[in-house]
Amino acid sequence: MANSKLSGTLFKKMVTNGAVNLKNNHKEIDNLNVFPVPDGDTGTNMQMTMMAGIKEVKNNKTDSIQDISKILSRGLLMGARGNSGVILSQFFRGLYSEIAKIDSDSVSVDDFIQALVGGYQMSYRAVMDPVEGTILTVVRESAEKVLQERKNLKSIDEVLKVYLTQAKETLIKTPDLLPVLKEAGVVDSGGAGFIKIVEGWMMALNGQEIQEEQQYVEQNSFVHEHNEIGAHNLGEIDIKFGYCTEFIVKLFDYEKFDEKFMREPLSQMGDSLVVVTDEDLLKVHVHTNQPGVALTLAQKYGELQTIKVDNMRNQHSNIMNSEKEVTKIETPKQKSKYALISVASGEGIKEVFLELGVDRVISGGQTMNPSTEDFVKAINELNAENIIILPNNSNIILTAEQTVELCPEYNIRVLKTKSIAQGYSSLISFDPTMKIDENIEAMTESITNMKSGEVTYAIRDTEMKGVKIKEGDFIGISSSEIKVSTNNKVETTNNLIDLLLSDESEIITVFYGLDVLDEELDEVISHINTKAPDIEVEIIEGKQDIYSFIIAVE
């Protein structure tokens, strides 16, 4: 029997089913990645994000669809991991924003379609520079399709059938929209994970409840037909407006304030604009070449609470490391001026970061991204006026940035470090006597003036930008590209080092992992000494897995 309306009880069954379906199949999503490295984590991030939200829903006995969607949205936001998790949390935030407007115990077909539209719109706002060919395209085109078919759709079931069919069609064409996917011969893994969620919704409508650990694969599903799904990397960004500017304002008179007061002038000054109000708080994100003008405009309507301005043209791209859980330290009794929070993997690397002044190390990296809640917990436990977060992974930056909005009482900056090497280099430039924005500028400059790379192994055959790769080969990665591939770990490492070194290089730091033998390390050191006899060499036992070597050259 078709469902003409969506009740809170049915909505709860749908979202729970979707989360469990994703969880049961998340390894399949993890294994489908642009780079053939053993660190695919999109499925893990998405399922952990979803299960965090579902946990909150299950702990609350309400049957109100408005309350359920609100609780789910908050739980997802706090549990969001990685770019894919943050985008997913924003999709459900968009659903809630539309459902909250409904003065009824159930959602009509038109209401549900509008909620799906709100979900895709909110998802786009979560990303500074939305890239087509990702999960964003999947949620947008699916919602647009049901809008087009609106007059012909008489039930929630019919809406979801059209929505899911379009999602699969869009997923197939993602490689045509994002060159890195086409080159690797894969489709977007975030979109594939989202389809698992929607498949779970459909099964709930049909009365089928999925149990955890039940491995469900829909017959003739896209994943079953095509063993080529992947890509949590959202690709390179062409920067037109150089300053990523974010601030929170406490409004003088929020009842009379209209978001257009900020949106209209700022839309003429930049792009990637997000203007959100929550009662007396205004949150603004914009890419602009005039951050000072944006801040001055905001002061007309209230008092600035937090400010973050990053020069995006000084940022580079890298790919990195793993795991999760917080290294505990005692909270200082007196309020300190600074606290540094860093994400790192490998006991040796963690120890080095603590020695360099990091106050809290959150274990994690490419295979296990920390959640938003992990960062919020660390911030609240640290007693500091100013907090600098080093994500050390491109897939963790968006999660870390959520803390600026969630913790407006703290002066937080997220330094956009995209690798352990970048984080290590930036810490050398930190000076506790300087102001926070001076530190951010100095630390960013350190990142700009260094090169870094990692060595790991391939888990499948592929070819990327002329580099032929075979399963089991060792690959050298730098600037988010596979530069070297051979069947020998030391040869790959030495070839990568040759690419990173230049006549201006003064220091090379080598973090070696758990799989590196003493004789292999000796060969690498010998090669460096031969290649650049005058360079200073620092060797650190990082004890990291997945990456045999992490290299920083300054």
Half-sphere exposure of 450 (CA within 13 A, CB side): 30
How distant, in Å, are the alpha carbons of 201, 224, 226 from that of 220? 18, 6, 10
Q: Average model confidence (pLDDT) for the chain? A: 83
Helix (H, G, I), strand (E, B) or coil at 113: helix
Weakest-pLDDT range from 75-79, 347-351, 509-513: 75-79
CATH number for the domain whose boundaries are 5-230 = 1.25.40.340
From residue 534, alpha-carbon distances to 449, 505, 508, 530, 538 in Å are 19, 9, 11, 9, 13
> E strands along 195-240, which residues?
229-230
Of the options 3.40.50.300, 2.40.30.10, 3.40.50.510, 3.30.465.10, the CATH number for the domain spanning 325-434:
3.40.50.510
Distance of CA 1 to the CA centre of its chain: 40
Listed in sequence order, the DSSP H helices in 312-371 are 347-355
pTM above 0.85, yes or no: no
Q: Which of the pair, 226 or 99, is modelled with greater confidence? A: 99
CA separation for the pair 68, 65 (Å, rounded): 5
With a cut of 70, say whether residue 334 has pLDDT above it: no
Cα 545 from Cα 321, distance rounded (Å): 8
Query: In 3-state terms, what secondary structure has residue 129?
Result: coil
User: What CATH architecture is 243-312?
Assistant: 2-Layer Sandwich (3.30)
Domain boundaries, the chain: 5-230, 243-312, 325-434, 451-553
- Which helix (H) or strand (E) segment holds residue 22: the answer is helix 8-30
**Per-residue pLDDT band at 387 (split at 50, 70, 90):** very high
Nearest CA to 277 among 297, 304, 248?
A: 248
Q: What is the DSSP code string of 302-339?
A: EEEEEEEEEEGGG----------EEPP-PPPSS-EEEE
Provide the token pair at 40.
């695919």
Same fold for the pair 325-434 and 451-553: no
Reported as a single tens digit per residue, the pLDDT across 432-476 is 888 999 999 999 999 999 999 999 998 888 888 888 889 899 999
Tokens of 148: 């087009």
**Mean pLDDT of the region 384-402:** 91
As a whole number, mean pLDDT of residues 512-526 equals 94
For residue 537 the two structure tokens come to: 């060499």
Q: Helices 156-177 and 189-205: crossing angle, nearest 10°?
A: 170
| CATH top class, domain 451-553 | alpha beta
In Å, what is the CA distance from 554 to each residue of 343, 350, 502, 537?
21, 21, 10, 11
Q: How would residue 227 be classed by pLDDT, with cut points 50, 70 and 90?
A: very low
